Amino acid sequence: MQTWPGSAYPLGATFDGNGTNFALFSEGADRVELCLFGERGRETRVDMLEVDAYVWHAYLPNIAPGQRYGYRVHGEYDPTSGKRFNPNKLLLDPYAKAVDGQVNWGQSVFGYTFGDPDSRNDEDSAADMMKGVVINPFFDWGGDRPPRIPYSESFIYEAHVKGLTMRHPDIPDEIRGTYSAIAHPLIIEHLKRLGVTAIELLPVHQFINDSMLEEKGLSNYWGYNTIAFLAPQNTYSSSGQRGQQVQEFKGMVRALHEAGIEVILDVVYNHTAEGNHLGPTLSFRGIDNEAYYRLEDDDKRYYTDYTGTGNSLNVGNPHALQLIMDSLRYWVLEMHVDGFRFDLAATLAREFYDVDRLATFFELVQQDPVVSQVKLIAEPWDVGPGGYQVGNFPPQWTEWNGKYRDTVRDFWRGEPQALGEFASRLTGSSDLYAHSGRWPVASINFVTAHDGFTLRDLVSYEQKHNEANGEDGRDGADDNRSMNFGVEGPTDDPQVNELRERMQRNFIATLLLSQGVPMLLHGDELGRTQGGNNNGYAQDNEITWIDWENVDASLIDFTSALARLRRDHPTFRRRRFFDGRPVRREEVERIPDIVWLRPDGTQMQPEDWDSGFGRSIGVFLNGNGIRERDRRGEPITDLHFLVLFNAGDEPVEFTLPDVEFSPNWDVLVDTAGTLANTEPVHPGAAVDLAAKSVVVLCEHVEEEVEVDRFVAASLATGTVSIDEVPGAAPKEELSR
């Protein structure tokens, strides 16, 4: 086969319209063979003769999109020194932009003989390996533009491609569970109805279904087992696996952007699917084990594991770092995604041992003209020493705020000691982010996420029920800060069910009224249950898929209404922290931008926070104290709001504050369903705050009747009969 020297950059397989350039990094290799596969699996091997800076490369004319390929890498095999080269193992290109097939688990894909970890196995793995695919890079984006929604206006929806769409009865069977289903008008309409501004997809980088799970009749659902960082998962494609998945993914992004919805990817750069020293040889291990993985200093047979998955990517190596940065840029520039959530992000900052805010990875992100401009969200922990790093990421980053989740759960469980911290979390967690020059939007607030109970299960179970995982209940968290109200699981007791419904509304209201960026787990607005399973990582089935035929319609309406309230009122999405200093107001005494209130209507005193006096608290939010400007430089003002919380088991009579706060109040929200849309409430009046409830009041504004001066003048002069005056044309509701 004819080959040309080609180029060392870009890495991977790159089609230019006439042929394809192949480039592979391997510092320790003695020889590299490019392997091309025909339709019937026939293999053609091509020696890559050119090497520049440890990059092996060749250009093959007439190799077109759809071509399947892999590599065989020759070199020393000495696991004790970290070298695991074996040309009998077909290897997936780390830069593959599409992948065909799955791994067929068996002896051939392992570098040692079963039962003897120190042996070498030379069975050929080609027939059992997934292959890289040359893709067509061209796509009609049709004028696609990123929505670029500010954090302060964002509402994130954590979702799973398959779980969100697999059981939707009105989506065609042939596209359910795929990128095309996410792009379906019904899904997009649902997201728009909720007011969602960004969908955060659980991993779509090509991942592996673990052999251990297959043996149990299970499969990897979450996708935290990446093997190809530039390839969209092929099982989420309805159109094919020979590059069609790339086109389908791009079509999904384009459709979401047209609806004003950003796409954020949950990415897993902390480890790969090859596991520990007993794992398979699929890609990185056989290409350059020492470069791509952290190895134990005293015995390089073993892998340093900060992730609990068997290995950690070696971010101290420039080529491993290059892979991360190249793939991030690719997803932004070529796939048009709008940001990333980094799984176990603390691992990426471990250059030597400790987590370091000045790690090279963070420096590269800061300097990169592409990656630095998209949303960067850290999951701020790993399993290494000092792994929990919430609040310690660089200023450019936002973080999943696990302290917010725990505190809000504790508050609604009625833990008195949570009161002070609850107030801090509600107002943007300044204790975590202000010291690094960040603002409330650095806090990604959530109550539930994929790795735990759903919202419905959070108020229905106190124990995990993970029997279907086949691990005898050893998996999943034990301390869930959950509640069941006297009955574990489903019940016909109307009082228990009413309380559970109210608690779901409480959590959603708290989430959407807190400063920071709210993130909702898919299906929480629908009343989705996993039957008490709090670790659905392997449940790619109806346990985790949303049951669209049995949804809580009233909860959808409630969530949508609260999202609209947040969107329409900048009081609930401030870009700056409250400072508590008085704000100048006309004709009345100056009051701060925020005031915490006791149930008797008086201001909270310092000693109250530690007194454990109760589980009820109110907060006044001054609409004149926002101290920010809009996009055109104009001051931002809003109405005043009063939010009352009662996490206790008994009703509370809450006295509204003095008239200086507002002459009258309208009740907008009552999660107990008794006070909303009633007559205005006066200062000093007592509001009956039901047990386990949230009430939101807004300053009452008298509606002014607009007078059409032209019509009034005409009537005065008698030139127009009253019967001839046309009525006002019906006004279309503003699009949400």
Over the stretch 434-448, which tens digit does the pLDDT of each residue have?
Answer: 998 999 999 999 999
Beta bridge partners of 521: 158
User: What 8-state DSSP symbol labels residue 230?
Assistant: E
Burial 477-491 (b: 16+ CB within 10 A, else e): eeebbbbbbeeeeee
What is the rounded distance in angstroms from the CA atom of residue 644 to the CA atom of residue 642? Answer: 7
Task: Name the pairing type of β-strands 652-655 and 686-689.
Answer: antiparallel
Q: Are 229 and 187 in contact (CB under 8 A)?
A: no
Structure tokens at 551: 């949804």
Sequence letter at residue 306: Y
Sequence letter at residue 188: I
* Strands (DSSP E) found in 470-556: 517-521
Q: Which of 343, 410, 524, 670 is the catalytic position?
A: 343
What is the rounded distance in angstroms from the CA atom of residue 149 to the CA atom of residue 155? Answer: 10
Burial 253-282 (b: 16+ CB within 10 A, else e): bbbbbeeebbbbbbbbbbbbbbbebebbbb
Q: Give the residues of the chain that fall short of pLDDT 70.
A: 351-358, 382-387, 580-589, 611-613, 704-736
Q: Are 660 and 583 in contact (CB under 8 A)?
A: no
What is the rounded distance in angstroms from the CA atom of residue 156 to the CA atom of residue 441? Answer: 12
Positive or negative, the CA dihedral 28, 34, 37, 41 is negative
Q: In which region does residue 506 sit, left (phi positive, over 0), alpha (psi from -120 to 50) or beta (all else)? A: alpha
Beta bridge partners of 618: 597, 644
What is the rounded distance in angstroms from the CA atom of residue 697 to the CA atom of residue 665? Answer: 6
User: Is residue 181 classed as helix, strand or coil in its secondary structure?
Assistant: helix
Half-sphere exposure of 403 (CA within 13 A, CB side): 22
* Strands (DSSP E) found in 417-462: 443-445
Sequence letter at residue 451: D
Q: Are 634 and 627 in contact (CB under 8 A)?
A: no
Whether 379 is a known active-site residue: answer yes
CA angle 176, 218, 544 (to 5 degrees): 50
Task: Name the pairing type of β-strands 156-159 and 198-201.
Answer: parallel
> Which class for 442: exposed (0-12), middle (13-18), buried (19 or more C-beta within 10 A)?
buried
CA angle 376, 377, 379 (to 5 degrees): 145
Q: Which of 356, 285, 259, 278 is nearest to 316 (CA)?
A: 356
Q: Which of 12, 627, 28, 637 is nearest to 293 (CA)?
A: 28
Output phi, psi for 400, to 5 deg: -60, 120
User: Is residue 32 classed as helix, strand or coil in its secondary structure?
Assistant: strand
- How much is the pLDDT for 358? 60
Q: Are 22 and 96 in contact (CB under 8 A)?
A: no
Length of the chain (residues) = 736
Helices (H), 344-429: 360-367, 402-413, 419-426
What is the rounded distance in angstroms from the CA atom of residue 472 to the CA atom of residue 281? Answer: 30
Sequence letter at residue 536: G
Beta bridge partners of 720: none
Output phi, psi for 510, to 5 deg: -60, -45
Cis-peptide, bond into residue 10, ω within 30° of zero = yes
Half-sphere exposure of 110 (CA within 13 A, CB side): 17
- How much is the pLDDT for 359? 79
Q: Which of 288, 379, 525, 540 is the catalytic position?
A: 379
- How much is the pLDDT for 701? 85
What is the rounded distance in angstroms from the CA atom of residue 547 to the CA atom of residue 512? Answer: 24
Task: Name the pairing type of β-strands 339-342 and 375-378.
Answer: parallel
What is the rounded distance in angstroms from the CA atom of residue 292 to the CA atom of residue 90? Answer: 17
Model confidence pLDDT, tens digit, residues 116-132: 999 999 999 999 999 99
Predicted model pTM: 0.93
Q: Are 602 and 581 in contact (CB under 8 A)?
A: no
Cβ neighbours of residue 106 closer than 8 Å, sequence gap 6 or more: 128
Sequence letter at residue 380: P
Structure tokens at 11: 């890495």
